Amino acid sequence: MASGAEAVLFWCLAPLMVIAALGLVLARKAVHATLCVVFVMVCLAVLYVAQEAPFLGIVQVVVYTGAVMMLFLFVIMLVGVDASDSLVETIRGQRLVGWLLGLGLGAVLVGVLGRVAFPEGVGLEVANEVTNPVGLARILLSDFVFALEIVGILLVTAAIAALTLTHKQRLTARVGQKEMADARVAGGGSLTPLPAPGVYAQRNAMDVPALDAQGRPLESSVSRVLRVRGQERSAPVDPQIRRLDDPGPAGPAVDPPARTTEEES
């Protein structure tokens, strides 16, 4: 019999878990469905700890909630949530096979539940005579070792299937560093990295072009996106160089030569 505190905890968490499970099925966005699964797993970990199985509770949080579900969220954020699956049946009879496999899985689950529910349980106090991890390992590696091996084979098969389904044949030959350099030279590109933006004596902003050795702005130092958007700022140019670039109607302005000592005397 469960204590009063355990019963109160169960009746507080169980409705929330059911609501989150329904949210998993009925949610239209994959991110919301994943968050519902995370909530269910956290509540399940709390129930494990309340039933004197702290090792299972910690594993539930660390492995499933902290690793697997976060991995699902990262994949959803990287791949996107706007993709739609095709509902066209590509293989004939696959729906019938799916229904048969679903019925078989349901029969297996009913058998497992019947085996667990009908025999009288001994309680976790007897199972955890040494410690909870030792008792769990003793049960898994003695009574349920065959089921443990089947689960391991299933996980390996799922990983291999995922790699097989996501594998794509390369449409073009692999381009190495030498081929990339040859193509860049043939296209008139630069082999060296582009100059960094910013005049470091005054500012290092991304929208300010760098200056070359003669003090002229380098357009290649500013991102093409900023130039297209019109967000490029002009770099400060030396006044003498500006006069040389914009001579005006009277021609380029040239400073008079410095007088020597002999001319002054």
Domain co-membership, 127 together with 222: no
Low-confidence winner among 35-49, 105-119, 162-176 (lowest mean pLDDT): 105-119
pLDDT value of residue 222: 75
Kindly state the tokens that stand for 173.
Answer: 């030959």
Residue 224, domain extent = 195-235
Low-confidence winner among 8-22, 32-46, 87-101 (lowest mean pLDDT): 87-101
Using DSSP's 3-state secondary structure scheme, residue 95 falls into helix
Does a structural domain hold residue 137? yes
**Mean pLDDT comparison of 94-98, 114-118, 212-216, highest-scoring range:** 94-98
Does a structural domain hold residue 116? no
Instruction: Judge whether residue 251 has pLDDT over 70.
Output: no
Domain co-membership, 20 together with 62: yes
Instruction: Judge whether residue 241 has pLDDT over 70.
Output: no
The whole-chain average pLDDT of the chain stands at 74
Q: Which residues contact 51 (CB under 8 A, 6 or more apart)?
A: 6, 124
pLDDT value of residue 234: 64
Instruction: Judge whether residue 100 has pLDDT over 80.
Output: yes
pLDDT value of residue 8: 84
Number of structural domains the chain divides into: 2
Q: What are the backbone angles phi and psi of residue 146, rounded to the nearest 5°? A: -65, -45
C-alpha 222/C-alpha 226 separation (Å) is: 7
Kindly state the tokens that stand for 26.
Answer: 């009925």
Asked if residue 31 lies in contact with residue 81, where contact means CB atoms within 8 angstroms, the answer is yes
Does a structural domain hold residue 225? yes
Does a structural domain hold residue 173? no
pLDDT value of residue 19: 92
User: CATH number of the domain that 39 lies in?
Assistant: 1.20.120.1200
Mean pLDDT of 14-40: 87
Domain co-membership, 64 together with 27: yes
Residue 217 — pLDDT band, cuts 50, 70, 90? confident
Question: Helix crossing, 30-50 with 4-26: angle to 10°?
Answer: 160
C-alpha 22/C-alpha 14 separation (Å) is: 12
Does a structural domain hold residue 132? yes
Domain co-membership, 231 together with 138: no
Domain co-membership, 133 together with 227: no
Domain co-membership, 133 together with 214: no
Mean pLDDT of 122-138: 66
Question: Helix crossing, 30-50 with 69-79: angle to 10°?
Answer: 170
Asked if residue 23 lies in contact with residue 36, where contact means CB atoms within 8 angstroms, the answer is yes
Does a structural domain hold residue 202? yes
Q: Which residues contact 232 (CB under 8 A, 6 or more apart)?
A: 207, 209, 222, 226
Domain co-membership, 154 together with 219: no
pLDDT value of residue 128: 59
Residue 106 — pLDDT band, cuts 50, 70, 90? confident
C-alpha 36/C-alpha 23 separation (Å) is: 6
Domain co-membership, 139 together with 230: no
Using DSSP's 3-state secondary structure scheme, residue 236 falls into coil
Share of the chain above pLDDT 70, in %: 64
pLDDT value of residue 77: 74
Domain co-membership, 157 together with 204: no
Does a structural domain hold residue 246? no
Domain co-membership, 38 together with 161: yes
Does a structural domain hold residue 199? yes
Pairing of strands 217-218, 210-211: antiparallel
Domain co-membership, 138 together with 223: no
Q: Compute CA distances 188 → 78, 196, 225, whole Å.
A: 35, 20, 21
pLDDT value of residue 104: 85
Over residues 168-183, the pLDDT tens digits come to 777 777 888 888 888 8
Asked if residue 206 lies in contact with residue 226, where contact means CB atoms within 8 angstroms, the answer is yes
Domain co-membership, 210 together with 147: no
Instruction: Judge whether residue 149 has pLDDT over 70.
Output: yes
Supply the pTM of this predicted model: 0.43
